[in-house]
Amino acid sequence: MADDDYVYDEASGEWISAAEAAAKAGASDTVEVRDAVGNLLADGDQVTLIKDLVVKGAGQTLKRGTLIKSIRLTGDPQEIDCRYEGIKGLVLRAEFVRKR
């Protein structure tokens, strides 16, 4: 019986029915990710770095003006996942990029 299932909602601190939890999860899937100047970002966009960034673990610095192609949103409003040659698993903060 699905009516008897309850889950703990960490946001409100209350136990809610599984149906309510599923409805909340479906509504919160749309996360707005905005770049440094306020443009809305989407999967597949191209972005340009607005600041030199030292990449930890790669021993490399990405220079200001570097073009990053085909970004992916992570579900976090401040992070984007992207690829750059020689760097595996690169995640950038949205505050350091500008939509091209």
Work out whether strand 87-93 and strand 47-49 pair parallel, antiparallel, or are unpaired. unpaired
Greatest CA span in the chain, whole angstroms? 57
Work out whether strand 40-41 and strand 14-17 pair parallel, antiparallel, or are unpaired. unpaired
* Angstrom distance (rounded) from CA 80 to CA 46: 11
Of 65 and 14, more confident:
65
Q: Which domains does the chain have, with CATH numbers?
A: 1-30 (no CATH), 47-99 (2.30.30.40)
What does the pLDDT look like over 4-43, one tens digit per residue?
788 888 878 888 888 888 777 765 557 899 999 999 999 9
**Strand-pair partners of 62:** 53
Q: Residue 29 has what pLDDT? A: 54
If phi > 0 it is left, if psi is from -120 to 50 it is alpha, else beta; for residue 86 that is: left
Residue 61 has pLDDT above 80, yes or no: yes
